[in-house]
Amino acid sequence: MHIPVLSREVIEYLAVRPEGIYLDATAGLGGHTAQIASQLTTGFVIANDRDAESLELARRYTAEWAGRIRFHHGRFSRLDEALRASGVDAVDGLLADLGVSRYQLTQGERGFSLLADGPVDMRMDRTQETSAYQLVNELAEENLADLIYRYGEERRARKIARAIVQARPIRSTLELARVIERAIARTGRLHPATQTFMALRIAVNRELEELDGLLELLPRLVKPGGRVVFLTFMSLEDRKVKFRFRELAKEGSLRILTKHVVRPTEQEIAYNPAARSAMLRAAERI
């Protein structure tokens, strides 16, 4: 089973109460959901995810606490629907772990992986039409370069976009990774295609737009006195969370609990390397 990141800190900042109602906005394989559910008695946790396949696995992994979990398939921007489906107006705590599920990253057929071959897909919700294949093979070179630079913060975006366009059609993830690896030199430990793959994934799933939708909904989703915890893994997302927290604090509807981001300890990173880049921010609804 997947190891939830910053698990002790998440529970501490959520201040889980046995009778409370909680929303795990990104249930994934259910690691944090199970943690929250294990603290409840009469309360329950709404486990939401836009990836239906991950949710099915989460049901299996959290079967021990089935009576305390309600599953919902949906996007961030529609989380108010998840609450209505469970018969509640607002929750006592909301968690959003914005990391990509290990299940998605390790299943070649999902098209997220640099290391396992599969179609150039990257859709978290496989019912949506546009996949990474269309972006890689149909976008104009200039637009593709802009996308890679904007979402991947990749300085060599123009060189990468030129190589991709010249190699079209590109049908598999390993083929795409090789094209990028031939175009730019490896620097440091990261594979040269890492940032481009991230940029394509963000664009395909409209991740930043969906995050904006969640941040806009925050005051309506969480009860006064309730807690909000965000786990981010890249600066683009962390900046959005930080600025929205500050905005809501100025309005008087949020009290920021973390002056600076909370990061995992060296001990956690040693047994769970996926936690390395995690950043936690928490606030209380007032």
pLDDT of residue 122: 96
Report, as an integer, the average pLDDT of 138-152.
Answer: 98
Structure tokens at 13: 């900042």
For residues 22-31, one letter each, b for 16 or more C-beta atoms within 10 angstroms of the residue's C-beta and e for the rest, the string is bbbbbbbbbb
Quick check: 103 pLDDT over 80? no
**Distance between CA 247 and CA 249 in Å, rounded?**
5
Where residue 132 falls among pLDDT bands split at 50, 70, 90?
Answer: very high
Q: Identify the CA nearest to 275 among candidates 99, 35, 14, 25.
A: 99
Give the gyration radius of the chain's Cα atoms. 19
Strands lying side by side in the sheet with 279-285 = 69-73, 44-49, 21-24, 91-97, 222-232, 279-285, 254-256
pLDDT of residue 100: 83
The backbone torsions φ and ψ at residue 31, rounded to the nearest 5 degrees and listed phi first, read: -60, -55
Q: What is the pLDDT of residues 46-58, one digit of tens each?
A: 999 999 999 999 9
Q: Which of the two residues, 232 and 102, has the higher pLDDT score? A: 232
Q: Are strands 279-285 and 254-256 parallel, antiparallel or unpaired?
A: antiparallel
Report, as an integer, the average pLDDT of 158-185.
Answer: 97
Where residue 102 falls among pLDDT bands split at 50, 70, 90?
Answer: confident
Q: Which of the two residues, 3 and 138, has the higher pLDDT score? A: 138
Report, as an integer, the average pLDDT of 274-284.
Answer: 95
Structure tokens at 130: 């546009």
Q: What is the pLDDT of residues 2-56, one digit of tens each?
A: 689 999 999 999 999 999 999 999 999 999 999 999 999 999 999 999 999 999 9
pLDDT of residue 107: 82
pLDDT of residue 161: 98
pLDDT of residue 179: 98
Quick check: 1 pLDDT over 70? no
pLDDT of residue 2: 66
The residue length of the chain stands at 286
In which residue are the tokens 């395909």 written? 204
- As a whole number, the mean pLDDT across the chain is 95
Q: Are strands 91-97 and 222-232 parallel, antiparallel or unpaired?
A: parallel
Report, as an integer, the average pLDDT of 61-76.
Answer: 96
Structural domains present in the chain: 7-103+207-285 (3.40.50.150), 116-205 (1.10.150.170)
